[in-house]
Structure 1
Amino acid sequence: MDKIDFKGSVVLNPVPVVLITSRNKAGKDNVFTVGWTGTICTKPPMLSISIRPERLSYEYICETMEFIVNMPSSNMVKAVDYCGVKPGRKFDKIKDMNFTMKDGENVNVAYIDDCPVSIECKVKDIIKLGSHHMFIAEVVGSHINSNLIDDNGKIHFEKGNLISYCHGEYFKLPEKSIGSFGFSVRKNLILKKLILPLLLGKMI
């Protein structure tokens, strides 16, 4: 396939799209949409979000060093878009979108109960990169809808009706996977465990 040399932009897509809630020292809440986020460490559990310094949430999070990542479902896509384009200094987006808010357990920030998953975070470092500054945060707690967790404790994110962002558009994530971690070698491992002992037994 022919390739086009495309410069000057980060073309890593798709990415998760999340709603970030924060609260300033005066107790005022705000929410805005973030596409630049990701898991960066397992132990301790850590993630990052990148924010433009001119955003109101940047100011709030710098004040308290806490925030909550709320993962919206596809039926919330209009609210996700609204919270991404409307400025928090002029609009009360939480009220406008009629979000149901609940106080966090480990941070002094409210999370959006309408979202199937909410992740409480404490900021450990802020790296000034350019147009965006990266907030590196430790996960200190999560709130997950009970219908997403099976009897074995596995979280079925595919049942959360989650959405992603890809080059200016929102997409609903599929419910069926095209593979699971390790599936490319799993069959060979099973064959080795079952067949090799039989072959060795015949050779002895």
Structure 2
Amino acid sequence: MGADLPADLWKRLTGTVGLVVARRDAELVNVMAAEWAYFVNRTPLYAAVALGPQAVTRDLIAQTGGYSLTLCAQDQAELADFVGSFSLADVDKTTSELLDLGAPAVTDTPWVRGGVVALECELRHVLALPVHRLFVAEVVAAHLPTTPARPLVKHGPMHGLGPALRAGRVVVGVRRDPAGVLTVAATGPPGTGGPWHVTLLPDTAGEIPLGSHPSTVYGDLQVRIPLPPSVPLDDARVRVERDGAHPGFARLAPHRGPRTPPPAPA
């Protein structure tokens, strides 16, 4: 038997908040907030929303074969809270003056204006989970704001994003093959433009330069380097440096971590 999991472990997830619009007929439109809303395929572009058993929208999507999904901007936090707090059975949420619906371009389902992006979606798959139901749909139209918006983030409470993080450290990993060739792969801060400097640090004193190497087309380092013969490598390390960043290090021997002992017999 596995370890007991905290009941609220799912709240550790971090993601954007979605506003899902579905309709039953020409008159009835419902809007709800979906914490679990994602892109799940690139080509063709698919989006998915996971809806709980209490959501009226589940039946509406199944009846009409589609929905719209707006990924919220951070100034839509109050709107997301409102449409996520009440059911269609309680109130017509489209009467709120904070809700601005846009006309669809391809489907017949309107979409909520003001988000990071709004998507018109045609249903392709429904996956029944133990409690929730996952609606996977193909994106057939997209509506982008004239000015890029900052996303609303859900991690327990709702949050806005701070400034973009700037990477300051090189991270490196290696693989040594039986022929004595070392593959070195590293990432680091973008924009420095300079070469990557690779150095072998044997388990004895001293350093062995392994050359300076250009970036890949993606701005990273991936290079194969012949290892020098007759160098003790049991506890050797590799250092990778780049201008404007803290150097990164890797062990030639993989680190597998401690093994969890099997449970004692009952």
After TM superposition, the score normalised by the length of structure 1 is 0.76
2:161 partner letter: L
Q: Which has the larger strand fraction?
A: 2
Measured in 2, the distance between the counterparts of 1:118 and 1:187 equals: 32
- Cα 1:186/1:75, change in 2 over 3 Å: closer
Q: Number of aligned residue pairs: give it.
A: 177
Which segment is superposed worse, 89-98 or 15-24?
A: 89-98
| Partner SS state of residue 214, structure 2 | helix
TM-aligned CA deviation for residue 98 of structure 1? 3.5
How much does 1:24 deviate? Answer: 1.3
Q: Higher helix fraction: Structure 1 or Structure 2?
A: 1
Q: What 5-or-longer segments of structure 2 have no aligned partner?
A: 168-185, 196-212, 216-266
> What does residue range 1-204 of structure 1 map to in structure 2 within 5 Å?
6-8=5-7, 9-148=9-148, 160-167=149-156, 169-179=157-167, 183-184=187-188, 190-191=194-195, 192-193=213-214
Say if 1:116 and 1:7 are closer, same or farther in 2 by CA, change over 3 A: closer
Secondary structure of 1:171 counterpart: strand
Larger Rg over CA atoms: 2
What is the Cα deviation at residue 37 of structure 1? 1.7
* 2-structure distance, mates of 1:23, 1:75: 25
Q: What is the deviation of 1:185?
A: 7.8
* Stretches of 4+ aligned residues off by more than 4 angstroms: 185-190
Gap regions ≥5 residues in structure 1: 149-159, 195-204
Change (3 A) 1:78 1:184: same
Aligned residues of 1:53 and 1:59 also touching (Cα < 8 A) = no
1:10 CA drift (Å): 2.9
Q: CA deviation at 1:51?
A: 0.7
SS of 2:87's equivalent in the other structure is: coil
User: Match for residue 181 of structure 2?
Assistant: none
Name the TM-score, length of structure 2 as normaliser: 0.60
Q: Which is bigger in relative contact order (C-alpha 8 A, separation at least 6)?
A: 1
1:87-137 residue CA offsets vs partner (Å, 9 max, x unmatched): 111211121244121221111111112324201111101111022100011
C-alpha contact (below 8 Å) 1:79/1:97 kept by paired residues: no
Q: Name the aligned partner's letter for residue 58 of structure 1.
A: R
Report the alpha carbon displacement of residue 177 of structure 1 after superposing the two structures with TM. Answer: 3.2
Q: 1:97 to 1:5 in 2, by over 3 A?
A: farther
